[in-house]
Chain A
Amino acid sequence: MGKQPYRAPKGGLVQRNRVIRFTFDGRSYPGHPGDTLASALLAHGHHMVARSFKYHRPRGILAAGSEDPAGLVTIGADAKRRDPNTRVAEQELYDGLVASSQNCWPSLLTDFGAINDAFARFMPAGFYYKTFKGPPGTWTGLFEPIIRAAAGMGRAPEPGDPDRYEAINRHCDVLVVGGGPAGLMAALAAGRSGARVILVEETARLGGSALARDPDRLAFDGTQPAQWVADIEKELATMPEVTVLPRTCAFGYYANNFVGLWEKVSDHLPEDKRLGHLPRQRLWRVRAREVVLATGALERPLVFHENDRPGVMLAGAVRTFLHRYGVMAGRRPAIFTNNDSGWVAAFDLARAGAEIAAIIDVRREMSPQHLAEAARLGIPIHASSTVVATAGYRRIRQVEVRPLHEDGTVGQGGSKIACDVLAVSGGWAPNVALFSQSRGKLAWDGELAAFRPGLSWQRERSAGAANGTFALADALAEGARAGVEAAAAAGFASGDVTVPEVEGAEPGQGRIKVMAELPSHLPAHRRRAWIDLQDDVTAKDLRLAVQEGYSAVEHAKRYTTTGMGTDQGKVVNLNAFAFLAAERGEDPVKVGTTTFRQPYKPVTFAALAGQHMGPHFLPRRTTPMHAWHRRHGAVFEPVGEWLRPRAYPREEEDFFAAVQREARTARSACGVLDASTLGKIDVKGPNAREFLNRVYTNAWMKLAPGMCRYGLMLGEDGMVMDDGVTACLADDHFHMTTTTGGAARVLAKLEDYLQTEWPELKVYLTSVTEQWAVASICGPKSPELVGEILDDFDPDPEKFPFMAWREATMAGIPVRVFRISFTGETSYEINIPATYGRWMWRTILEKGQKHGIAPYGTEAMHLLRAEKGFIIVGQDTDGTVTPHDLRMSWIVKKSGDFIGKRSLFRSDTARTDRRQLVGILTEDPELVLEEGSHIVARRNEPAPPVPMLGHVTSSYYSPNVGRSIALALVESGGTRIGDRLFATRGGLPTVPVRVTETDFLSLKENRQLPQAPREALNG
């Protein structure tokens, strides 16, 4: 396989003197650097590369770029790196590239799935909608598994991608999308103004359509195209503010000129040559002041019977393969066209040595110039004719041509013409995808029979073929003007840009004759004229959709799947819309177009995720004591972004046992909790007290310096939002604490009220959450320990009473000590500047050893507070709970306003039958309810809907109470103390429970714990 039989004798921008090897489906082939996989395969006469999605029909290479609908393969041998659904026309060749076909089994040539094609008439448009309706029946058992097994294209890579990806941000003055002639001029013009310019080119090299022309017949100011491009590239490289990004696709145009770029940094390199310090792909999130869209035009195929054979290619693609890649798509091409551009393709091929089998033109009148040139080259011409059938399996080998009558029917006779490729042209259409994504309005251009940009919505302009300006000289001028104007709009006066003189400009596509589906002698039901080559949608399918009432474009799309899939119908959509218009007998502008959605082409998830993976996925906030926790066996739980120790299981101790031990130790000896994550806000100003009065439900005017108070904060709707203890530092100075998860929310809310509702209050707020590392020490031994670790400090709970705070020093370091408790035990909360946190923690644990100290985690903390009946906002409340619902009416002051006060008197919040927080004790003391269990009135649940009285919010096994305990929100709970209710257990029989007060420790102390009745104990 050393030869490349279809490599043109000369030409192309490939490095002919270097041979590299690649494999396709296990077979090794030579190619050249500069090839794409498509051009390298075509150089071997290899057209069939894939199977279609639905019918598994052979598929070839239609286009030479990202618009190619069906030439999809999987790249890469490594399952963790492989890239399915890669367009062969886009994949650059590298030494050792491994490509394999997909959507076929066992092989591309022998594919059992092709049986679908024989059953095509049983899978009409809307097949899924017609089949998968009604109650689950046969289809769930019969069709669904088969279809699921057959569906999908390619296989996703396996987890463990070893490559790196990156997402970066960039601002620029002018973003130019498209590196063809118009885009190059725009970038040059804008670049010379000194503006920050980013020029994006989807392929590996700049030049665009200029590279798809015979270099001997086109010159810019006397320079060959490739050289002209290279000169511009060189000048752009000298401009420090210009960034040129090849291999980069602008895939999405979003609000305020936010454009997503997808750069393939190293997909074109052999895997062992990829640079480790660079990502494989990069996502550029670009914010541009102005955008120039120079995205070119796309050529449409023609819709005729059996138009889907491998070897049916767009005429423009055939030219690109010839001039850019030095590959002859065929030695005996036939041309089928409805405009002039098919003719120039024929002439190019003829000059390169091909024997043109025929030019078949559906038009009656053609350019005399072209007719003369065809005659000179001896090309047979079939004017006013159409192709009615094709033959060939792996590659087209024959077309049948018949005359086309004025009335739209085909005549008899005609001829069968042998060919090895059929170059088709249905005319060119501006590539308006990004323009439409930007929310600009499209205009219908009757002459082009296509949409072009109409009204802009964002700061953007289109230039060149993307704007419907196909003549090269005009496109260059328009590009230059767009660059100048865009730079000026961004505030940069441009230097002069001379538009080069073009020699060898082509006259363009001339008059185009659009026929939605070319006529055939065959009856309609036997015609298979493909509109969408990837999704296997034929003209017949669209006709059926219209007949069945799905004639609007968006309906027809979904009913038939036309324009779906990985190509989103780039080259086929216009044919579909033209067909719908013809079927409906309406103007195409009335029929419209489907939405051009982002992304323009599929972007890998890896690029979208960028570097935000693994350890960089989310911040993991940790306290100064974190390393200690880890070293001492803590298991952690996420609390918002924080990681907090949940318990410290010792060897041979499971999590449950560890929590029980920690909770026992905290009440019997001494426990210490890392409470550093609690939100802390410094509140200062002459109106600080008044402010606290308004944001908490209780009164703050009398809190003396040196003392603390617990507060409940409501939303304006009267619902509990946060809670915490606030200490009075001085008359005008307070230290507020919030819940760990509520810290940012509370600060924002308080700032909101100060800035927008009460600007007259002189109060400043500053977050001090992480200024302080906090150790909360509790238990009967805690006073002794605190006395030992603080300097000259009397911790006597009598003299340093509950809810007081003191300044102190610890080995000379200033600390604040708060006598506050979340456990009901004697507690001291020591706050030390965070940089000393690690040292403080270690000191406490060391000095506490002789007192039997144990660190406890959040689980024991939750358990300890539940034993005492203290709430956790967010666990026992859910945004629908008022202070009265918590039976904490004692904390709601009678006089004066506060946030949420009026809402407590709304008819709904004042109801007496609202759910209220109560204790729940199972009659079986060993049974621990699931949090979330429902509370119901009767042992046997009636048929649904079951009337719920409430639900369990917290539930634990308490070592200190010696039984299970739970908190629950229960309808009129306060009036049900002592009642017997039932708790559900997820499908198991309900269990009887007693409603109690919430302070279980006091119930135990006062011997008020309900005694288990005999029946519960007996099971």
Chain B
Amino acid sequence: MFVITCPYCGERDLSEFAYGGEAHIARPEWREDMSDAEWAEFLFMRTNPKGILAERWMHAAGCRRFFNMLRNTATDDILAVYRIGETPPKVEARLPATPSGEAPIGSGNDAVKIIQPGEGA
């Protein structure tokens, strides 16, 4: 059960929030000539990274505001929250060395549960 910091209400339990999918995907202005591929890009395609993802959340049980969050999906670490319309802040995160790898620490995967010889502390 995560703690999420609502930009308005402060730290609250995950159970008060609703997930809103990937952030910063603007709804395109309606154009007659928009191709199916362009529309599909907006409608279906998501980055789904193992790493830093900007995503939308709504404080459903509280202030009912939508806001954005940067989350490290490799560790579930919440790196930043910011309001709609604001630019995402620069953050650092412990990321997997390869796209399918594990973060050096904080992963729920068993692969990183022991410090291996020669591994820097």
Identify the A interface with B (CB < 8 A).
254-256, 258, 285, 287, 436, 439-444, 451, 454-455, 457, 554, 587, 589, 592-593, 595, 716-717, 748, 751-752, 755-757, 759, 897, 901-903, 905-907
The reply to whether A593 and B18 form a contact with Cβ atoms under 8 Å apart is no
Chain A CB within 8 A of B93 CB: no
The reply to whether A902 and B105 form a contact with Cβ atoms under 8 Å apart is no
CB proximity of B100 to chain A, nearest CB, Å: 19
CA distance A318 to B58 in the complex (A): 56
Q: B112: which A residues are within 8 A, CB to CB?
A: 441
Chain A CB within 8 A of B110 CB: yes
The reply to whether A256 and B60 form a contact with Cβ atoms under 8 Å apart is no
A442-B66 contact in complex given A457-B106, A748-B60, C-beta closer than 8 Å: no
The reply to whether B36 and A906 form a contact with Cβ atoms under 8 Å apart is yes
Q: Helix, strand, loop or mixed for chain B's interface?
A: loop
The reply to whether A287 and B114 form a contact with Cβ atoms under 8 Å apart is no
CB proximity of A681 to chain B, nearest CB, Å: 13
Q: In the complex, which residues 24-62 of chain B have their Cβ closer than 8 Å to any Cβ of chain A? A: 26-27, 30, 34, 36, 39-40, 43, 56, 58, 60
The reply to whether B1 and A256 form a contact with Cβ atoms under 8 Å apart is yes
A757-B27 contact in complex given A441-B115, A592-B113, C-beta closer than 8 Å: yes
The reply to whether B1 and A255 form a contact with Cβ atoms under 8 Å apart is yes
Q: B10: which A residues are within 8 A, CB to CB?
A: none
The reply to whether B108 and A751 form a contact with Cβ atoms under 8 Å apart is no
CB proximity of B15 to chain A, nearest CB, Å: 10
Name, among A287, A441, A451, A901, the residue most crowded by chain B CB atoms within 10 Å (CB to CB): A441
Partner of B110, one of A455, A554, A757: A554
CA distance A906 to B40 in the complex (A): 9
The reply to whether B110 and A454 form a contact with Cβ atoms under 8 Å apart is no
Q: Can you list 10 A-B contacts (CB < 8 A)?
A: A440-B105, A443-B115, A454-B121, A455-B115, A457-B75, A589-B117, A592-B113, A717-B43, A756-B56, A905-B36
CA distance A287 to B14 in the complex (A): 12
Nearest-CB residue, chain A, relative to B107: A439
Interface string of B63-79 (1 = CB under 8 A from A): 01110000000011000
Interface string of B1-15 (1 = CB under 8 A from A): 111000000000100
**What total of A-B pairs shows CB separation below 8 Å?**
87
The reply to whether B113 and A595 form a contact with Cβ atoms under 8 Å apart is yes
The reply to whether A256 and B113 form a contact with Cβ atoms under 8 Å apart is no
A287-B34 contact in complex given A748-B60, A752-B66, A906-B39, C-beta closer than 8 Å: no
Q: B65: which A residues are within 8 A, CB to CB?
A: 755
- Please classify how large the interface on chain B is, using the bins under 10, 10 to 19, 20 to 34, 35 or more: 35 or more
CA distance A755 to B18 in the complex (A): 15
Interface string of B83-100 (1 = CB under 8 A from A): 011000000000000000
Partner of B30, one of A254, A256, A587, A897: A897
Q: B117: which A residues are within 8 A, CB to CB?
A: 587, 589
The reply to whether A455 and B121 form a contact with Cβ atoms under 8 Å apart is yes
Partner of B39, one of A287, A443, A587, A903: A903
Name, among A748, A759, A902, the residue most crowded by chain B CB atoms within 10 Å (CB to CB): A902
The reply to whether B108 and A902 form a contact with Cβ atoms under 8 Å apart is no
Q: A906: which B residues are within 8 A, CB to CB?
A: 36, 39-40
Q: B101: which A residues are within 8 A, CB to CB?
A: none
The reply to whether A439 and B60 form a contact with Cβ atoms under 8 Å apart is no
The reply to whether A442 and B113 form a contact with Cβ atoms under 8 Å apart is yes
Q: B85: which A residues are within 8 A, CB to CB?
A: 759
CA distance A455 to B121 in the complex (A): 7
The reply to whether B34 and A902 form a contact with Cβ atoms under 8 Å apart is yes
Q: B108: which A residues are within 8 A, CB to CB?
A: 439
CA distance A420 to B29 in the complex (A): 86
CA distance A193 to B18 in the complex (A): 37
Nearest-CB residue, chain A, relative to B84: A756
Partner of B20, one of A255, A287, A752, A897: A752
The reply to whether A755 and B84 form a contact with Cβ atoms under 8 Å apart is yes
Nearest-CB residue, chain B, relative to A909: B36
The reply to whether A903 and B43 form a contact with Cβ atoms under 8 Å apart is yes
